[in-house]
Amino acid sequence: MFIDKARIHIKAGDGGNGVVSFRREKFVPKGGPDGGDGGRGGDVIFVADPGLSTLLDFQYRQHVKAGRGRHGEGSDRHGRNGEDVVVTVPIGTVLRDAETKQVIADLTEAGRPVVVARGGNGGRGNAHFATPTHRAPRHAEPGQPGEERWVALELRLIADVGLVGVPNVGKSTLLSRVSAAKPKIADYPFTTTQPALGVVRVPDGRSFVLAEIPGLIEGAHLGAGLGHDFLRHISRTRVIIHVLDLASERDPLADFDAINEELRLYDAILLERPMLVALNKIDVPEARARATEVAARLEARGVRAWPISAVTGEGLPDLLRAAADLLDRERTASPAGRTTT
């Protein structure tokens, strides 16, 4: 099961209380204050783990709490600090404050810890408050409460190239042909109900990660079909491959325009990403005959198209090389990493 959204409550540990205590020594009628400090509360820390792929665990674990600090003790003994809690999530997880929607962290780097809720400081014992004129203070500080909040977790797949298109244009077949991924393939709409990733090896030795995004339809940015839940996964890709079905009775350019409009309405930055167009299903004679005319209409708009057959593999090497070339240029232009939204 692929789960890419979750909501959890996190609570850092409270600080331990400082203590009021006085020394009791033989032959010393007035021992001084020796109350120790409380320990600090534990933090809640998030770390991206490359071994995880979904947020499924958080369907059953909706509350995370760090350890509280121990109270101080006499003889200037400080309380022990509370234990931190480390929460592991998949790479590509975005953490937001569930109420304000503000981004807390974007975990795109494996192993880098991010403190999301800090533990409270321990209170000071009465030994801190002794002065020459106030030698027997009878007060200490309470520990401070740890931070707590509801956090929304949102997983955005990290892929170099994303496949988009209306349902049943052959994205799953294409992904299965060029990688070891095994997405579900069938002849009905919305066969793919979750994003799929595969590693593609180009004939010249280069490689990249390819993601299939479930079929988009008009109104996807508003929640129609499956698009609203999965459009977010496009945001991390550097290059987009738009797959068109030439064997369909639909106008492929109308589908092309409709999907681009959904991308624009979701996030206009997506239309600035380099885009390739794959004219799929040329193994069908009618589609092959149609390819030249559709390619010419696209080129008139300044868009280059590659006729391919995801079933037979025809045209795929050229398409993959073109994608790898664009990806190389994007990596050179922004070596620090992907543009994220």
In this prediction, residue 204 carries a pLDDT of: 86
In this structure, which topology does domain 1-155 adopt according to CATH?
A: Spo0b-associated Gtp-binding Protein; Chain: A, (2.70.210)
Helices 171-178, 316-333: inter-axial angle, 10-degree rounding:
80
In this prediction, residue 125 carries a pLDDT of: 93
In this prediction, residue 186 carries a pLDDT of: 43
Q: What is the mean pLDDT of each run of 10 residues along the chain (341 residues)?
A: 78 95 74 90 94 82 94 92 94 90 90 94 92 86 95 83 86 86 49 67 86 63 47 78 91 90 83 91 92 93 92 93 90 55 41
- CATH 3.40.50.300 in the chain is located at 161-333
In this prediction, residue 52 carries a pLDDT of: 81
In this prediction, residue 229 carries a pLDDT of: 57
Q: Which residues of 91-159 form beta strands (DSSP E)?
A: 93-97, 103-107, 114-117, 148-155
- Cα separation of 309 and 331, whole Å? 28
**In terms of pTM, does the model score above 0.75?**
no
In this prediction, residue 68 carries a pLDDT of: 95
- Cα separation of 133 and 150, whole Å? 47
- Cα separation of 128 and 140, whole Å? 8
Contact 178, 161 (CB under 8 A): no
| Residue carrying structure tokens 């990596």 | 331
In this structure, which topology does domain 161-333 adopt according to CATH?
A: Rossmann fold (3.40.50)
Q: Which helix (H) or strand (E) holds 293?
A: helix 285-299
Buried b (16+ CB within 10 A) or exposed e, 281-298: bbeeeebbebbeebbeeb
